[in-house]
């Protein structure tokens, strides 16, 4: 529910949700409750209607409601709160004072207007706000020329707001009346002198005092009004009840304002300040109009509904709403006489004690346009007791914060009427969730206290799951590792927490047992399992075992100035491409048998140091034999590779080369035996030697240096020896 209506509902007007049909005149918001109450008046609860509760959480003594009667109340409350939201949204946003950003809540006249009249009211508020928040310096002025009058020579300045209205909907006289009522309900617009009608154009312009025309002057006024207001509000809000707040406001006015007798007797130059908030707060001297404006202003700032009442040309005072009942207040006479009989009385009482007739308000000013609220009580009915009528959340867990959302209190007045307020508008204390148990929460509203119990439960873990696995593959005799392992624990309070896995949580691991194992993670009596695998090392690097090929070759990459001996025990693949070290002394990759295949993500491998590959098939990411480039000596034994490029000496035996073999070293010795080359064989070093023994070349064979073909050799293409050439054995040349 909107803040504005909360304040009206909770602290000001019992009319909004009263449960007795006679609380206040109907304002369009109590219809469903009135129906509920009237329906109940003939039922079992009629004898104790004054104590009727506001909800089903706490039933007042001596009341026995049937289910149907209770449902009628609940349905009525729901309906009225829905109306309340619509009611609050219908009020103008311009009611927030730019002086203090305080929400003003007096809509007693506004709510009686039709749509066109409300729009004019809102336009006046928007224009005033626009002027207050602007830096404009006004230049258009008017000076009164009334010889013999006290205001002769008085100058005012025009703010051309251009507020228009439709004369077919609002007459000029009614529009003028609206502007005057607006002023009585919005004293925060301290600069206001009048809203001048431009009748031929059906519009208003705002007129201000001479010393409000300049922006620098307005800043000076607003700063002082603001600082005083906030200081007073600190005192006012410290009071426990609405009634105490209102009485303090009266005393603040009495103690800080002096009546301007020279202005009253016209013995000083004419100054309209004394009719406004500017005179009352900034000048600290004013006449009755200024008193009434200051009272309205401070009441509204404190969340109390009030407005000024006038007797045309004679006197002004106030009406104020305390707990749904309207009272008359005259702070002017309270200040000047020191007598509190002018505070919070009925209109008839004030008239009876006013021998001058100053409080007989100008009826035509109101009755021709709006209806004034009845003001008939001479006693302020205060809050006698309170009860929590709708419980908020009552079940908590250790460590929780209190939540009063949805909670309601019923305040019972000394006249047997009642109203409800949000628990959020009360002072709530005593809540503690440090330990489990039952706690009585204290509720204080309007100086009266009550309690309601809440239960604090222990926080218990109710579920868990493994959200991040630790290491899951181990070598034989390798110690358990839970690094990066995480669990998420769910508690009975609906919250969860992420917890790092510790070794003490994990059981069931046997480092000597090969194969898959189920490990159990236990936390606060809850458990989950995950699987690990214990294996023999598929690969070692210089005798150090590794559980996977990627970590092994990551270790190889960091070796410098050493011989690297890689032993592959079983077939496998790398998930990442590798960059083999260029600063190792040599690299040897070998396997126990030729059945082992090692698959790299790379497209090819290049070695900058001597390399030996034996008893293993090398494949690339396309599952093709891996092309090899050796920038120095190359040894291949009992292996299958792809294209081979050798820049140094090469010794290839028992191999399958799927592609061309190129030997480019100028003086390199190339020995190939018991091998098949499925492409061309090229030896380009004129000073080098190529010796092929029992070799099959399916392509061309070209040798720039010395060439020897021994044993049983075959060439599927052309044989081109360019240097010394010797054949010993059986040679087959297909071309």
Mean pLDDT (whole number) for 462-467: 96
Res 36: pLDDT: 40
Give the count of alpha carbons within 13 A of 75, CB side only.
12
- pLDDT tens digits, one per residue of 574-596: 999 988 776 889 999 999 777 89
Res 67: pLDDT: 62
pLDDT at 645 over 60: yes
What pTM value is reported for the model?
Answer: 0.58
- pLDDT tens digits, one per residue of 3-54: 322 222 233 232 222 222 222 223 333 333 333 433 333 333 333 222 222 2
Least confident of 89-93, 390-394, 437-441, 666-670: 89-93
| Between 273 and 388, the higher pLDDT residue | 388
pLDDT at 624 over 60: yes
Mean pLDDT (whole number) for 373-391: 93
Nearest to 103 by CA among 31, 188, 213, 13: 188
- pLDDT tens digits, one per residue of 237-269: 999 899 999 999 999 999 999 999 887 777 666
Q: Within the chain, which residue ranges are assigned CATH 2.60.40.3630?
A: 1-87+386-456, 461-535
pLDDT at 121 over 70: yes
Res 198: pLDDT: 67
Res 722: pLDDT: 94
Class of domain 461-535: mainly beta
| Between 328 and 181, the higher pLDDT residue | 328
Res 680: pLDDT: 96
CA distance 599 to 621: 7
List the structure tokens of 371: 């209806």
Cβ atoms of 640 and 618 closer than 8 Å: yes
Res 521: pLDDT: 97
CA distance 518 to 361: 92
Mean pLDDT (whole number) for 211-215: 91
Res 129: pLDDT: 85
Res 503: pLDDT: 96
Res 182: pLDDT: 87
| Between 621 and 394, the higher pLDDT residue | 394
Length of the chain in residues, anyone? 735
pLDDT at 83 over 70: no
Q: Which fold has domain 1-87+386-456?
A: Immunoglobulin-like (2.60.40)
Res 155: pLDDT: 85
User: Sorting pLDDT into bands at 50, 70 and 90, what band is 75?
Assistant: low
| Top-ranked range on mean pLDDT: pick from 323-327, 354-358, 476-480, 516-520 | 516-520
User: Sorting pLDDT into bands at 50, 70 and 90, what band is 148?
Assistant: confident
pLDDT at 422 over 70: yes
Res 176: pLDDT: 86
Helices and strands (H and E) in the chain: how many: 14, 46
Q: Which long-range contacts (C-beta less than 8 Å, at least 24 apart) are formed by 535-544?
A: 535/473, 535/474, 535/475, 535/476, 536/475, 536/476, 536/569, 537/475, 537/476, 537/569, 538/568, 538/569, 538/570, 538/572, 539/566, 539/567, 539/568, 539/569, 539/572, 540/566, 540/567, 540/569, 541/565, 541/566
Name the CA dihedral angle for 676, 680, 681, 687, rounded to a multiple of 10 degrees. Answer: 180
User: Sorting pLDDT into bands at 50, 70 and 90, what band is 102?
Assistant: low
Res 10: pLDDT: 30
Mean pLDDT (whole number) for 76-103: 46
Least confident of 205-214, 650-659, 670-679: 205-214
Res 18: pLDDT: 28
Cβ atoms of 81 and 30 closer than 8 Å: no
pLDDT at 85 over 70: no
| Between 488 and 150, the higher pLDDT residue | 488
pLDDT at 556 over 80: yes
| Between 50 and 719, the higher pLDDT residue | 719
Res 152: pLDDT: 72
Nearest to 53 by CA among 65, 42, 66: 65
Res 111: pLDDT: 86
**291 sits in which H/E element:** helix 288-301
Q: Is 543 left (phi over 0), alpha (psi -120 to 50) or beta?
A: left
Res 66: pLDDT: 57
Least confident of 143-157, 416-430, 432-446: 143-157
User: Sorting pLDDT into bands at 50, 70 and 90, what band is 130?
Assistant: confident
pLDDT at 2 over 50: no
pLDDT at 613 over 50: yes
User: Sorting pLDDT into bands at 50, 70 and 90, what band is 200?
Assistant: low
At how many degrees (to 10) do helices 288-301 and 215-237 cross? Answer: 60
pLDDT at 132 over 50: yes
CA distance 96 to 493: 41
CA distance 322 to 306: 9
Res 272: pLDDT: 80
> What are the b/e assignments for 544-555, b being 16+ CB within 10 Å?
ebbbbbbebbeb
Res 662: pLDDT: 96
pLDDT at 95 over 70: no
List the structure tokens of 91: 């009020």
- pLDDT tens digits, one per residue of 480-497: 999 999 999 999 999 999
Average pLDDT taken over every residue of the chain? 83
Cβ atoms of 139 and 214 closer than 8 Å: no
Residue whose pair of structure tokens reads 């006046």 in the numeric block: 124
Res 101: pLDDT: 55
Least confident of 157-171, 441-455, 467-481, 542-556: 157-171
User: Sorting pLDDT into bands at 50, 70 and 90, what band is 626?
Assistant: very high
Res 134: pLDDT: 86
- pLDDT tens digits, one per residue of 162-171: 788 888 899 8
């Amino acid at each position: 529910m909107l803040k504005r209506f909360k304040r009206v509902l909770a602290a000001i007007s019992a009319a909004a949700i009263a449960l007795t049909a006679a609380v206040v005149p109907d304002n369009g918001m109590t219809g469903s409750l009135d129906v509920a109450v009237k329906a109940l008046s003939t039922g079992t609860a009629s004898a104790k209607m004054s104590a009727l509760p506001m909800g089903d959480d706490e039933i007042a003594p001596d009341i026995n409601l049937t289910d149907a009667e209770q449902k009628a109340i609940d349905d009525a409350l729901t309906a009225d709160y829905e109306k309340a939201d619509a009611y609050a949204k219908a009020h103008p946003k311009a009611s927030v004072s730019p002086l203090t950003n305080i929400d003003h809540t007096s809509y007693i006249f506004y709510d009686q207007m039709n749509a066109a009249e409300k729009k004019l009211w809102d336009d006046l508020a928007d224009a005033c706000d626009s002027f207050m928040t602007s830096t404009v310096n006004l230049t258009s002025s008017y000076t009164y020329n009334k010889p013999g009058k006290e205001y002769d020579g008085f100058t005012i300045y025009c703010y051309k707001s251009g507020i228009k209205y439709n004369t077919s909907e609002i007459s000029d006289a009614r529009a003028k009346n609206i502007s005057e009522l607006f002023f009585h309900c919005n004293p925060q617009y301290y600069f206001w002198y009048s809203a001048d009608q431009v009748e031929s154009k059906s519009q208003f312009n705002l007129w201000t005092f001479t010393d409000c025309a300049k922006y620098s002057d307005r800043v000076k006024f607003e700063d002082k009004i603001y600082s005083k207001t906030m200081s007073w509000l600190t005192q006012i809000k410290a009071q426990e009840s609405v009634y105490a707040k209102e009485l303090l406001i009266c005393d603040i006015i009495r103690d800080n304002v002096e009546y301007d007798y020279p202005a009253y007797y016209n013995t000083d130059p004419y100054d309209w300040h004394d009719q406004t908030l500017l005179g009352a707060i900034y000048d600290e001297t004013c006449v009755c109009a200024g008193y009434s404006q200051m009272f309205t202003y401070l009441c509204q700032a404190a969340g109390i509904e009030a407005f000024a009442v006038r007797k045309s040309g004679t006197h002004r005072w106030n009406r104020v709403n305390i707990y749904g009942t309207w009272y008359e207040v005259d702070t002017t006479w309270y200040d000047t006489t020191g007598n509190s009989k002018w505070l919070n009385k009925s209109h008839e009482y004030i008239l009876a004690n006013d021998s001058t007739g100053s409080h007989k308000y100008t009826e035509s000013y109101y009755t021709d346009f709006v209806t004034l609220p009845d003001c008939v009580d001479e006693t302020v009915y205060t809050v006698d007791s309170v009860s929590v009528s709708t419980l908020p959340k009552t079940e908590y867990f250790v460590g929780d914060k209190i939540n009063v959302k949805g909670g309601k209190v019923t305040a019972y007045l000394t006249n047997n009427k009642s109203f409800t307020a949000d628990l959020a508008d009360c002072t709530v204390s005593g809540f503690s969730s440090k330990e489990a148990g039952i706690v009585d929460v204290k509720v204080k509203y309007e100086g009266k206290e009550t309690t309601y119990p809440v239960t604090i439960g222990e926080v218990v873990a109710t579920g868990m799951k493994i959200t991040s696995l630790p290491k899951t593959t181990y070598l034989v005799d390798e110690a358990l590792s839970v690094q990066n392992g995480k669990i998420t624990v769910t508690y009975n309070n609906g919250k969860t927490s992420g917890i790092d896995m510790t070794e003490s949580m994990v059981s069931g691991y046997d480092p000597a047992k090969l194969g898959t194992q189920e490990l159990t993670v236990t936390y606060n009596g809850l458990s989950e399992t995950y699987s690990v695998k214990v294996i023999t090392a598929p690969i070692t690097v210089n005798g150090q075992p590794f559980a996977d090929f990627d970590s092994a070759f990551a270790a190889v990459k960091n070796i410098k100035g050493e011989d690297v001996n890689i032993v592959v025990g079983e077939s496998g693949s790398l998930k990442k491409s590798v960059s083999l070290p260029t600063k190792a002394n040599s690299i040897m990759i070998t396997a126990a048998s030729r059945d082992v295949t090692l698959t790299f993500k790379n497209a090819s491998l290049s070695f900058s140091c001597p390399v030996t590959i034996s008893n293993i098939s090398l494949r690339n990411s396309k599952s093709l034999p891996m092309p090899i480039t050796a920038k120095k000596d190359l040894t291949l034994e009992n292996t299958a590779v792809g294209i081979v490029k050798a820049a140094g000496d090469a010794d290839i035996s028992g191999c399958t080369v799927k592609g061309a073999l190129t030997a480019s070293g100028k003086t390199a010795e190339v020995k190939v035996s018991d091998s098949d080359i499925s492409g061309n064989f090229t030896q380009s070093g004129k000073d080098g030697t190529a010796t092929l023994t029992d070799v099959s070349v399916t392509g061309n064979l070209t040798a720039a240096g010395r060439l020897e073909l021994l044993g049983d050799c075959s060439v599927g293409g052309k044989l081109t020896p360019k240097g010394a050439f010797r054949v010993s054995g059986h040679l087959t040349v297909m071309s």
